[in-house]
Structure 1
Amino acid sequence: MVTITAPSSVPSGVGVLDKVSAILAVLEQGPVRLPTVVSETGLTRPTVHRLVLAMEDLGLVEADQQGRFIAGPRLARLAMVAHQAIAVRELRRELRALRAATGAKSVRLHQRHGDQRICVAEALRYKSAPSDRNPVRAVAMGTDPVSRVFLAWQRLSRVHVSGSDAAVCSGVRHRGWVQGVTDEGLVLAVAVCGRDGELAAVLSLSSSSQRIRHECSYGREVIRTAMEAAARISGRLRAKEATGPVKGLEDRDRRVGPRSVE
């Protein structure tokens, strides 16, 4: 019986997977040569050599110019997908926390797609059916608070804008939010900006029509809480974008075939 000694190796009970995991644990420390992998894992040299060649075929390992083994391109893609999934999960958690903190009926995140806006994530007080999927819905731009935030950034980016229109748009961009009454009730829309000040998304809070009978606007505390959440979401979106171009990575020399690895 072979004792695997690689760091951070937690046995799964599946022999081949445990050996592959041991090799990957060694590669986490940086480029290594075959004798180092053998000594660090406690595996025999023929076993390491056979597994490394198979892992290279799968894109999990590759050799650098000095002949040392390093993590392969497939692991890079998997890492980016994992980072992106974490960013999405944190984004959903942020929306749920904002809804709970403000007592809103719904909290949504919208992004622009041409002349439409799309709800890419939401947190609702009540759900008709449990689901973790993002509700992608396209809506034409209108006069609602969410559309007004999008249009404020769009119109100021144009060369020719009338004086009154420019003043209104500048006011929205300076303030960073718009609120108003729609069919959904009282809505607060907050700009989510990127590093360059461009609009990345719009965060919206909706309250029931019953609240409108008592209040015509959100208070300062709710607006402040929403703007703080928008700032955090901006960071989440930047992290998501940084790991987004997974498709741009080419699978160099990928040759997946019916090769037997024992």
Structure 2
Amino acid sequence: MVTITAPGVVQGRVGVLNKACAILAVLEQGPACLPEVVSGTGLKRPTVHRLVLAMQELGLVQADEQGQFMVGPRLTRLAMVAQHAMADREIRRELSALRAMTGASVRLHQRYGDQRICVAEVLRFKSAAGEGTSVGAVAIAAGPVSRVFLAWRRFNGGHGTGDDALACLRIRHRGWVQGAVDGSLVLAVAVCGRDGDLAAVLSLSGPSQRTRRGGSYGREVIKSAMEAAARISGRLPIKEATALIDGRDHGLQVRSASV
């Protein structure tokens, strides 16, 4: 049996995978030439050379101009996918916790080009098959969520004057806005990055008669939503959240993805 000396390698049942993981464990520490990989893994030089070349063909390893080997672009992409998956799980936990606390449907919206897209949602009602979902693209009228997006767009782009500009400035300063949409009360909260740019909008929606004050969400709900938005902001990548859009808010689209 081959003795692998690479640090932190848990050996499984498949020998070739153990050797490949040993090579990657060495490259995790930084670029290394072939003799350094051999020394770090405890494997024979012909074995390391053969595996490194094979891993290079698969994009798991790459070589620089000095002939040193390093982690390849495919692993970089996989790491990004894993990070996004972990972030998605954390965001879904936040949405579920907020629904449990408020009893409202909770959604997270981002802007992609000229569309406003619901990237995650946790609804109030459960169907026989599980959580209720809405699928497809549906045109929406102006509402609190759209007003938050436009507040950042118009402020950054210099759009709007007078009362319109003042309303946008107030939304940006407060960080949230609420209002009625088709018989439901909607609270929209800005999710901003460290630079103050808008990354997403968190929304709560439910029948207005179910809220404590009838026509608006109470202070506790708003505070909880803003705290959730602050936690989400650290996990959410910015993806064209403030891209220029058609100024007519009714032209925005929503695509809902089940959670």
Q: Shorter chain as normaliser: what TM range? A: 0.7 to 0.9
TM-score by length of 1: 0.79
Is residue 121–residue 135 contact of structure 1 (8 Å, CA) maintained in 2?
no
**Cα displacement (A) at 1:20:** 0.7
Partner of 2:106: 107
Is residue 107–residue 204 contact of structure 1 (8 Å, CA) maintained in 2?
yes
Equivalent pairs counted in the alignment come to 238
Structure 1 residues 230 and 137: CA distance shift in structure 2, 3 A: farther
Structure 1 residues 176 and 115: CA distance shift in structure 2, 3 A: same
Is residue 193–residue 200 contact of structure 1 (8 Å, CA) maintained in 2?
yes
**Cα displacement (A) at 1:137:** 4.8
The answer to whether the aligner puts 1:197 opposite 2:166 as a matched pair is no
**Cα displacement (A) at 1:210:** 4.3
**Which residues of 2 match residues 98-177 of structure 1 at below 5 A?**
98-100=98-100, 102-113=101-112, 116-128=115-127, 129-130=129-130, 137-159=136-158, 161-177=160-176
Aligned partners of 1:221 and 1:152: how far apart in 2? 24
In structure 1, give the amino acid aligned to 2:174.
Answer: R
Q: Secondary structure at the match of 1:98?
A: helix
In structure 1, give the amino acid aligned to 2:11.
Answer: P
Partner of 1:39: 39
Is residue 105–residue 205 contact of structure 1 (8 Å, CA) maintained in 2?
yes
Aligned partners of 1:59 and 1:90: how far apart in 2? 30
Aligned partners of 1:157 and 1:10: how far apart in 2? 51
Aligned partners of 1:76 and 1:90: how far apart in 2? 21
Aligned partners of 2:114 and 2:36: how far apart in 1? 57
Partner of 1:16: 16
Is residue 26–residue 41 contact of structure 2 (8 Å, CA) maintained in 1?
yes
| Contiguous gaps of at least 5 residues in structure 2 | 240-259
Is residue 116–residue 139 contact of structure 1 (8 Å, CA) maintained in 2?
no
Structure 1 residues 113 and 64: CA distance shift in structure 2, 3 A: closer
**CA offsets 1:52-104 (integer angstroms, 9 cap, x no match):** 1111222222233333222122222222222222222222222122222x323
Aligned partners of 1:27 and 1:114: how far apart in 2? 38
**Which residues of 2 match residues 13-92 of structure 1 at below 5 A?**
13-92=13-92
Partner of 1:254: none
Aligned partners of 2:106 and 2:87: how far apart in 1? 18
**Cα displacement (A) at 1:127:** 3.4
In structure 2, give the amino acid aligned to 1:127.
Answer: K
Aligned partners of 1:36 and 1:159: how far apart in 2? 57
TM-score by length of 2: 0.79
Aligned partners of 1:166 and 1:141: how far apart in 2? 23
**Cα displacement (A) at 1:178:** 1.1
Partner of 2:255: none
Aligned partners of 1:95 and 1:213: how far apart in 2? 20
Q: Secondary structure at the match of 2:62?
A: strand
